[in-house]
């Protein structure tokens, strides 16, 4: 195995990087990321380039830092050292200094290990919640420009239903978010990412807790999103046999250090 | 008949109070115990604008909403990160501080002696001096504010509040600006309860700080919890029940000293029973935890 850190030209300036991102379609770049909790090193000098449109399978033992890496890339954790740059839908971001909600609006989707649907909302509302570009999100405009807001809402609803159709959940649109099976919840969570136009999807154990049929269905869905829609996937998973065939690369995290398989 | 209208006017004022608090608790998941303080700011602002600056009723109400809204910004901008118990403690501090200011800033508020001679509600040149006319006038304000809340509830803003209440981390991960949402919901709720304070001050024509104590905040909270959170009808039912209880006790002809304590006892019992038997409230959609 080869340490990814060695493959990065560390002296690359940020402007060079963004040019490079446009040309070689790097969607995420981590440089020497280091993170420790209470003196215990979780991420140790982690560096990588993630190319746009690729599906990457991230493996590692429990506690090796996989979820922490996803949290760091998505802006929920700030590393002690190092840089993470994202190029989402043509815009560049310093993920270390950008709020996670802003990264999400720019095109970073997140599937949580515990899924995190909104339990008191219907499936359709869960997906609609990711429509963050609507003017009705501003209460003053929701009142003052009510007809425009309603029109936008109708279009967002159509898009949400189309996304639910894509993940095979359109027939459950009116069901409550907490009345679904684990597999169905994960499909809704993926539809939620699609609603927010996520270009880079970080998926934390998407196959956990699923039966064989559900695993096959979800793997097939992720493959379609990658192959047909060009979504970039960074997938943390333990089920190697199911996930490896649809991924372009496999990365390993061991004691906080990242290796390429 | 005047007695019935008197109760109905109080009911209208408290419906606005409970609906505004429900926006915080039921829709946004933010528990606060300082609502009476913002109510008091609205009441004092409206009273001072009418008494000292010669404002008529509606501009004074607008001033009350602005003053309560500005105060909410002063509190929510530096404290938006706090959640749960910490947030409750901050709101408790706000309640106590604002009450102390009302009580001690005698040059402005006249301290414990209060402000008297506040003009009755009026629209343009017509002054609503009778109970019936005030009831109808206030009723139209309640309908207007309930309509605004209903539109907001159905809008993407309302849905985003609900998402934030359900799971703040998930809301952030789908791109919802939770900091802004908290500040906005606080602003709207405070401005709305400021309006209720202005309506109260014009109706009773006299205010002093004892109407805006922590007890009053707890009464407001009880209305929302008993009635139920997360929809419009819950707070309306809660306001009706909590206004009716002391009036029913009044007919039991208890001595004054006992009646006041009895009221608190009944409120406490009611809250305990609700938490055990129906945590989502009488007509609530959402179970606040």
- Tell me which of A139, A148, A189, A204 to substitute to probe the interface with B (most B C-beta atoms closer than 10 Å): A139
Regarding whether A125 and A30 lie in a shared domain, the answer is no
Q: Is the pLDDT of residue A88 over 50?
A: yes
Gap from A172 CA to chain B (nearest CA, Å):
19
Regarding whether A78 and A28 lie in a shared domain, the answer is yes
B191: pLDDT confidence band, cut at 50, 70 and 90? very high
User: Please, which residues have CB within 8 angstroms of residue A58's CB and are 6 or more apart in sequence?
Assistant: A66, A69, A234, A235, A236, A237, A250, A251, A252, A253
B238: pLDDT confidence band, cut at 50, 70 and 90? very high
Domain boundary among the residues A156, A179, A202 is at A179
Q: What is the pLDDT of residues A104-155, one digit of tens each?
A: 999 999 999 999 999 999 999 999 999 999 999 999 999 999 999 999 999 9
**A148 touches B at CB < 8 Å:** no
Mean pLDDT of B47-67: 96
B35 near B217, Cβ under 8 Å? yes
Regarding whether A231 and A173 lie in a shared domain, the answer is no
Q: What percent of chain B has pLDDT over 90?
A: 69
Rounded to an integer, what distance in angstroms lies between the CA atom of residue B247 and that of residue B259? Answer: 10
Regarding whether A227 and A113 lie in a shared domain, the answer is yes
Q: Which of B60, B83, B26, B47 is nearest to B224 (CA)?
A: B26
Domain boundary among the residues A157, A179, A201 is at A179
**A132 touches B at CB < 8 Å:** yes
What does pLDDT average to over chain A? 90
pLDDT of residue A49: 96
**A118 touches B at CB < 8 Å:** yes
Q: Is the pLDDT of residue B104 over 80?
A: yes
B230 near B284, Cβ under 8 Å? yes
Q: Could you give the number of structural domains in chain A?
A: 2
Each domain of chain B, given as residue ranges in start order, spans 2-210
What is the reported pTM? 0.89
**B144 touches A at CB < 8 Å:** no
Regarding whether A149 and A204 lie in a shared domain, the answer is no
Domain boundary among the residues A179, A195, A223 is at A179
pLDDT of residue B230: 81
Interface A:B, Cβ pairs < 8 A: 96
Q: What is the DSSP string of chain B?
A: -HHHHHHHHHHHHHHHHHHHHHIIIIIT----S-HHHHHHHHHHHHHHHHHHS---HHHHHHHHHHHHHHHHHHHHHHHTT--HHHHHHHHHHHHHHHHHHHHH-HHHH-GGG-EE-PPPPEETTEE--SHHHHHHHHHHHHHHHHHHHHHHHHSHHHHHHHHHHH-HHHHHHTT--HHHHHHHHHHHHHHHHHHHHHHHHHHHSEE-GGGGSHHHHHHHHHHHHHH-BSSSHHHHHHHHHHHHHHHHHHTTT--HHHHHHHHHHHHHHHHHHHHHH-TT-SS-SB---
A256 Rama sector, left if φ>0, alpha if ψ -120 to 50, beta otherwise: left
Gap from B234 CA to chain A (nearest CA, Å):
17
- Tell me which of B155, B183, B279 to substitute to probe the interface with A (most A C-beta atoms closer than 10 Å): B155
Regarding whether A162 and A191 lie in a shared domain, the answer is no
DSSP H helices, A167-203, are 182-195
**B146 touches A at CB < 8 Å:** no
pLDDT of residue B287: 67
Q: Which of B166, B170, B171 sits opposite A120 (nearest CB)?
A: B166
DSSP A172: G
Q: What is the pLDDT of residues A193-226, one digit of tens each?
A: 999 999 999 999 999 989 999 999 999 999 999 9
Contacts of B148 in chain A (CB under 8 A): 143
Q: What is the pLDDT of residues B33-53, one digit of tens each?
A: 999 999 999 999 999 999 999
Regarding whether A194 and A150 lie in a shared domain, the answer is no
User: Please, which residues have CB within 8 angstroms of residue A232's CB and are 6 or more apart in sequence?
Assistant: A27, A28, A50, A51, A52, A53, A54, A55, A199, A200, A201, A226
Regarding whether A151 and A70 lie in a shared domain, the answer is no
Q: Is the pLDDT of residue A9 over 50?
A: no
Packed helices B57-79 and B178-204: angle between N→C axes, nearest 10 degrees: 150
pLDDT of residue A10: 36
Q: What is the ipTM of this complex?
A: 0.88
DSSP A207: T
Regarding whether A218 and A111 lie in a shared domain, the answer is yes
Question: In Å, how far are A80, A84, B22, B121 from A36, measured between CA atoms?
Answer: 7, 16, 41, 63
A131 near A142, Cβ under 8 Å? no
Its domain, for residue A226, covers: 2-117+180-260
Whether residue B151 and residue A142 make contact (CB cut-off 8 A), yes or no, is: yes
Contacts of A153 in chain B (CB under 8 A): 155-156
Q: What is the pLDDT of residues B202-233, one digit of tens each?
A: 999 999 999 999 999 999 998 998 898 888 88
Q: Which of A188, A233, A226 is nearest to A73 (CA)?
A: A233
pLDDT of residue A24: 59
By CA distance, what is B155's nearest residue in A?
A136
Regarding whether A85 and A135 lie in a shared domain, the answer is no
Regarding whether A133 and A100 lie in a shared domain, the answer is no
Sign of CA dihedral A73, A74, A80, A85: positive
Regarding whether A78 and A101 lie in a shared domain, the answer is yes
pLDDT of residue A7: 37
């Amino acid at each position: 195995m080869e340490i990814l850190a060695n493959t990065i030209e560390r002296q690359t300036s940020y402007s060079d990087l963004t040019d490079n991102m446009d040309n070689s379609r790097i969607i995420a770049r981590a440089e020497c990321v280091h993170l420790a909790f209470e003196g215990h090193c979780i991420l140790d000098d982690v560096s990588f380039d993630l190319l746009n449109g690729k599906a990457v399978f991230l493996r590692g033992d429990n506690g090796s830092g996989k979820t922490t890496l996803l949290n760091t890339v998505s802006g929920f954790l700030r590393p002690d050292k190092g840089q993470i740059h994202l190029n989402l839908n043509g815009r560049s971001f310093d993920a270390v200094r950008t709020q996670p909600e802003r990264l999400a609006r720019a095109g970073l989707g997140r599937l949580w290990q515990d899924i995190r649907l909104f339990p008191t909302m219907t499936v359709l509302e869960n997906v609609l919640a990711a429509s963050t570009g609507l003017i009705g999100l501003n209460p003053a405009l929701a009142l003052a420009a009510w007809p425009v807001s309603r029109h936008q809402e109708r279009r967002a609803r159509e898009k949400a239903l189309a996304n639910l159709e894509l993940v095979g959940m359109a027939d459950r649109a009116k069901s409550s978010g907490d009345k679904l099976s684990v597999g169905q919840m994960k499909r809704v969570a993926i539809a939620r990412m699609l609603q927010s136009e996520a270009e880079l999807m970080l998926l934390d154990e998407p196959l956990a807790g699923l039966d064989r049929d559900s695993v096959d269905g979800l793997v097939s869905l992720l493959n379609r999103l990658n192959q047909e829609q060009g979504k970039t996937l960074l997938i943390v998973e333990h089920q190697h046999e199911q996930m490896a065939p649809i991924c372009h690369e496999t990365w390993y995290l061991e004691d906080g250090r990242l290796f390429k398989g | 008949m005047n007695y019935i209208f008197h109760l109905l006017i109080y009911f209208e004022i408290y419906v606005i109070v409970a609906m505004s608090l429900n926006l915080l608790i039921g829709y946004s998941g933010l528990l606060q115990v300082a609502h009476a303080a913002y109510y008091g700011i609205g009441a004092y602002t409206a009273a001072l604008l009418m008494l000292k600056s010669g404002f008529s009723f509606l501009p004074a109400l607008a001033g009350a909403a602005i003053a309560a809204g500005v105060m909410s910004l002063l509190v929510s901008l530096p404290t938006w990160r706090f959640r749960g118990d910490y947030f409750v403690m901050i709101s408790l501090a706000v309640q106590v501080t604002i009450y102390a200011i009302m009580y001690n800033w005698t040059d402005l508020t006249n301290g414990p002696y209060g402000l008297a001679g506040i003009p009755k509600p009026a629209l343009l040149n017509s002054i609503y001096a009778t109970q019936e006319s005030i009831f109808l006038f206030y009723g139209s304000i309640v309908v207007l504010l309930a309509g605004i809340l209903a539109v907001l509830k159905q809008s993407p803003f309302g849905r985003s509040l609900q998402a934030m209440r359900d799971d703040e981390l998930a809301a952030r991960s789908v791109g919802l600006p939770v900091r802004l949402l908290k500040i906005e919901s606080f602003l709207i709720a405070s401005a709305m309860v400021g309006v209720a304070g202005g309506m109260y001050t014009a109706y009773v024509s006299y205010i002093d700080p004892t109407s805006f104590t922590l007890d009053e905040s707890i009464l407001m909270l009880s209305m929302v919890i008993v009635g139920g959170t997360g929809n419009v009808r819950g707070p309306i039912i809660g306001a009706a029940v909590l206004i009716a209880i002391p009036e029913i006790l009044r007919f039991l002809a208890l001595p004054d000293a006992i009646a006041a304590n009895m009221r608190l006892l009944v409120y406490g019992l009611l809250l305990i029973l609700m938490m055990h038997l129906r945590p989502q409230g009488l007509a609530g959609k959402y179970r606040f935890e």
